[in-house]
């Protein structure tokens, strides 16, 4: 397995990061996960543009443009002969003696990337998954895809311990997103999903789903919705790079609708698959 460390392609066993890397000490960095189908990246450039935006939001300058990164990732996928899986990449603010203040401009970001084989979650996509509810205790810049994921981890761990796939997060009465995905509801044929602001990560999958809705004339609203709306929704689904469009059939021990994946969710899954095949072949 090959990986990239600081722009260099190495064997994984040779990859090393300093103990004073700011990602390791502070979570001072940003990352992306891109899906690979048939050896091709799906929505690759969208992810890499978001990476550049996340970096800018934390005042970090990336040494590569999204287009340059795209070709580096293509190279890594091909070297590792990856067919179906993911590419992970992160940039931290580099290595320097521990200090909360940013290091000077002479300290270059640490860049790490690697690939992983990951199958499409066909079975849960067919049957649907369960979710718990958890208070969203994260900071107020959830729009940044930063390495600081402790809030997400604590919620996801709670879900896992309850035998559930996801924790649906809420700030008081308002549903924000999931611990590792965006959460949308369907009511009377209309999809409702939290607006892209500082309270959620604007998922590339979420954006793709909304683009599909626009093209197909499926009505949607981007607005905050409440826990009451969640519990009386006809359908609930989670969306994300590795989970695609995932039906949620039970929330906090209570069935969603009739407890089966809903028709709108099913339709989105089909349209999403068509989009994957259009971009990556089948
Ligand atoms: N929200 C959070 C907190 C996430 O970690 C993710 C990542 O998968 C998403 C939403 C979905 O984003 P994307 O569709 O870009 O993978």
Confidence band, pLDDT 50/70/90 cuts, at residue 104: confident
What residues are in contact with ligand 1 under a 6 Å CB criterion? 152, 177, 180-182, 201, 203-206, 239-241
Residues known to be catalytic: 145
Confidence band, pLDDT 50/70/90 cuts, at residue 38: very high
Q: What is the pLDDT of residue 7?
A: 83
8 Å CB contact between 129 and 248: yes
Model confidence at 18: pLDDT above 90: yes
For the segment 191-196, the average pLDDT, to the nearest whole number, is 98
Helix (H) or strand (E) holding 269: helix 263-280
For the segment 18-23, the average pLDDT, to the nearest whole number, is 98
Identify which of 180, 197, 208 to mutate to test ligand 1's pocket (most ligand atoms within 8 A of the CB): 180
* Ligand 1 centre distance from Cα of residue 6 (Å): 25
Q: How far apart are CA 28 and CA 102, in angstroms?
A: 10
Structure tokens at 245: 């469009």
Of 6, 3, 152, 21, the C-alpha closest to 93 is 21
* Ligand 1 centre distance from Cα of residue 181 (Å): 4
* Ligand 1 centre distance from Cα of residue 106 (Å): 32
Q: Which domains does the chain have, with CATH numbers?
A: 2-117 (3.30.470.10), 122-280 (3.20.10.10)
* Interval 205-228: pLDDT, tens: 999 999 999 999 999 999 999 999
More confident residue, 282 or 111: 111
Minimum CA distance residue for ligand 1 atom 1: 181
ipTM above 0.95, yes or no: yes
- In sequence order, which residues have a C-beta less than 8 Å from that of residue 248 and are 6 or more positions away? 128, 129, 130, 131, 165, 166, 168, 183, 236, 237, 238, 256
Mapped onto helix, strand or coil, the DSSP state of residue 35 is strand
For the segment 25-39, the average pLDDT, to the nearest whole number, is 98
Confidence band, pLDDT 50/70/90 cuts, at residue 282: confident
Question: Looking at ligand 1, which atom is closest to the CA of residue 241?
Answer: 16
Of 191, 194, 180, the C-alpha closest to 227 is 194
Q: What is the pLDDT of residue 243?
A: 96
Percent of residues, the chain, with pLDDT higher than 90: 98
Question: Looking at ligand 1, which atom is closest to the CA of residue 205?
Answer: 14
Identify which of 203, 207, 237, 241 to mutate to test ligand 1's pocket (most ligand atoms within 8 A of the CB): 203
* Ligand 1 centre distance from Cα of residue 104 (Å): 31
Minimum CA distance residue for ligand 1 atom 9: 181
Model confidence at 82: pLDDT above 90: yes
| Mean pLDDT over each residue of the chain, to the nearest integer | 97
* Interval 220-263: pLDDT, tens: 999 999 999 999 999 999 999 999 999 999 999 999 999 999 99
Minimum CA distance residue for ligand 1 atom 3: 180
Minimum CA distance residue for ligand 1 atom 8: 240
State the Cα angle at 150 between 145 and 153, rounded to 5°: 95
Question: Looking at ligand 1, which atom is closest to the CA of residue 200?
Answer: 1
Helix (H) or strand (E) holding 78: helix 66-79
Question: Looking at ligand 1, which atom is closest to the CA of residue 142?
Answer: 3
Q: What is the pLDDT of residue 105?
A: 84
């Amino acid at each position: 397995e090959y990986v990239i460390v600081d722009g260099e392609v190495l064997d994984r066993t040779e990859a090393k990061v300093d103990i004073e890397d700011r990602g390791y000490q502070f979570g001072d960095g940003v990352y992306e996960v891109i899906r690979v189908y048939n050896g091709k990246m799906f929505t690759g450039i969208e992810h890499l543009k978001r990476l550049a935006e996340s970096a800018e939001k934390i005042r970090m300058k990336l040494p590569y443009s999204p287009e340059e990164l795209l070709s580096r990732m293509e190279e890594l996928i091909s070297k590792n002969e990856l067919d179906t899986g993911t590419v992970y990449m992160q940039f931290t603010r580099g290595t320097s003696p521990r200090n909360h203040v940013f290091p000077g401009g002479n300290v270059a970001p640490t860049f790490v990337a690697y690939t992983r084989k990951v199958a499409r979650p066909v079975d849960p996509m067919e049957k649907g998954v369960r979710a718990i509810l958890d208070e969203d205790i994260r900071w107020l810049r959830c729009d940044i895809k930063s390495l600081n994921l402790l809030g997400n981890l604590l919620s996801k761990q709670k879900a896992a311990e309850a035998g559930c796939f996801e924790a649906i997060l809420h700030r008081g009465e308002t549903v924000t997103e999931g611990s590792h995905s965006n959460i949308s509801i369907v009511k009377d044929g209309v999809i409702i999903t939290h607006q892209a602001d500082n309270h959620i990560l604007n998922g590339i999958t979420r954006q793709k789903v909304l683009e599909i809705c626009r093209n197909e004339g499926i009505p949607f609203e981007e607005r905050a919705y409440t826990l009451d709306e969640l519990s009386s929704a006809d359908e609930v689904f989670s969306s994300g790079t590795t989970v695609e469009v995932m039906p949620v059939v039970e929330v906090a021990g209570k069935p969603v609708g009739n407890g089966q994946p809903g028709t709108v969710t099913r339709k989105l899954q089909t349209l999403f698959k068509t989009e994957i095949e259009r971009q990556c072949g089948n």
